[in-house]
Structure 1
Amino acid sequence: MESGYIPFAAIVDEIRRLVRQRATGALFVTTDENRSAQVALQEGRIVYLYFGNKVGASALQRMGQINAGRYRFQEGVSGLPRMELPSNDEILGQLDSAVDGQGAVGSSPVSDTADTGAVLTERQKALLLECLVEFVGPIGEILCEDHFRQSCSLNKAIDLLASEIPSAAQAKRFRDMVLTKLGP
């Protein structure tokens, strides 16, 4: 899927399809609120969940905040860690319940509306993408596409992209890497 957001229910249906097909790989999701989620599967078993800087059961609870998004599935062993999770049926049941109860809209922790700085150059965009992919993998492409649609300064773009990295230490490394590669 290359453009446009689809309802979260359709993303849950895709996860269910991948489970039924006994797929191995990672589903990378970016939401309409510029948040990222990841679901890793191994032979149809959901083995990793990430959303809103949370992993596992905590991420699953927060996934109910997703209203709509875009996704890409990368087939093959994901390299994401395996974790103790409820059964696929329980996970899909919780996601279905979240979809059924979606009257409450999740809040977006990062707002770009106050930033009226200069538009990013193509060189800056390429560098940000290159650095982000090192920390979050292929979902970095989707995250950059979404954040780059907004008119924002370099500093705001760095902040927004760093907020997508689960670990504070890695987010700091991302910032340092970008600033080093940009040079003086």
Structure 2
Amino acid sequence: MAQAEFTPFPSLMEQIANLCGQRQTGTVMLVSDDNRMGQMHLRAGEIVFVMCRGRRGRDALGIMRTMQAARLSFVAGGVDAAEAIEWASKTVLDYLKGLLPDLPGQGDGGALAQPAAAAAFATRPVAPALGAGPQSAMAVELTPATLATFEEVMLTYIGPMAQIVCGDHFRTATDARALTLVLATEIPGAANQAKFKAEIASLLNL
């Protein structure tokens, strides 16, 4: 019975096009029949952010367009003020429908550069913003209360996808400092990443 809830992907793109035509603002969430998850942020009918399986921009769209069927939900309300992706909404939807073989442009900046930048950041040493000195080098235990704090803060940065994203990383996290760094890579925009790390450091006394 659950399988009947999935809708063919092209039909979902028409639903998103209708939301754009209605100049809606909010978050579109997609869960495919093979358990891939993605989201779009709409601002006044324009697609301004796309994420799928932790990737953003061109990479996210490339993954998303391979979905065959999915469930769609839409949560109206304000969305993150992250930089808009570089393509018009119609171009994005045509690409997802398979009407375009590729997205125009080289993608050498903005949302397209974000995955590489995030990956590079994750390999760096712990940032001074998380604390300094011998005490800050100690691992902070991931108690249920600590995990709940991470999820609540992430909700303010990436919206309803926070539960899914946090759940993925909670399973492999070793301590609060490491978890802070890896979750920061899931947030679009360097400024928001830095703000997230500072907020977590303050709340958890890292």
In the superposition, the TM-score normalised over structure 2's length comes to 0.55
Paired residue total:
158
AA at the equivalent of 2:16: L
The 1:33/1:20 distance shift into structure 2, 3 A limit, reads closer
1:140 aligns with 2:157: no
- Cα distance in structure 2, aligned partners of 1:80 and 1:182: 24
- Cα distance in structure 2, aligned partners of 1:176 and 1:49: 24
Equivalent residue number for residue 14 of structure 1: 12
AA at the equivalent of 1:182: L
SS at match of 1:38: strand
The 1:121/1:159 distance shift into structure 2, 3 A limit, reads same
Q: Shift in Å at residue 128 of structure 1?
A: 0.4
- Cα distance in structure 2, aligned partners of 1:160 and 1:99: 34
Equivalent residue number for residue 92 of structure 2: 91
Over the matched positions of the two proteins, sequence identity in percent amounts to 19
Unaligned runs of 5+ in 2: 1-5, 103-115, 123-138
Q: Shift in Å at residue 92 of structure 1?
A: 1.9
AA at the equivalent of 2:42: A
AA at the equivalent of 1:178: I
Q: Shift in Å at residue 127 of structure 1?
A: 0.7
- Cα distance in structure 2, aligned partners of 1:167 and 1:143: 17
Equivalent residue number for residue 163 of structure 1: 185
- Cα distance in structure 1, aligned partners of 2:201 and 2:42: 31
Q: Deviations over 1:120-160 (max 9, x none)?
A: 32111111012112222332223213322x23212332222
SS at match of 2:42: strand
SS at match of 2:74: strand
AA at the equivalent of 2:97: D
| Contact 2:17-2:93 at 8 Å conserved across structures | no
Q: Deviations over 1:63-101 (max 9, x none)?
A: 1034568864212x434559574353x322201239999
Q: Shift in Å at residue 179 of structure 1?
A: 1.8
AA at the equivalent of 1:172: A
Unaligned runs of 5+ in 1: 1-5, 102-106, 112-116
Q: Give 1:124-139 correspondences, 5 Å limit.
A: 124-139=146-161
The 1:80/1:119 distance shift into structure 2, 3 A limit, reads closer
- Aligned-residue CA RMSD (Å): 4.5
| Contact 1:27-1:72 at 8 Å conserved across structures | yes
| Contact 1:27-1:39 at 8 Å conserved across structures | yes
In the superposition, the TM-score normalised over structure 1's length comes to 0.60
Higher-Rg member (1/2): 2
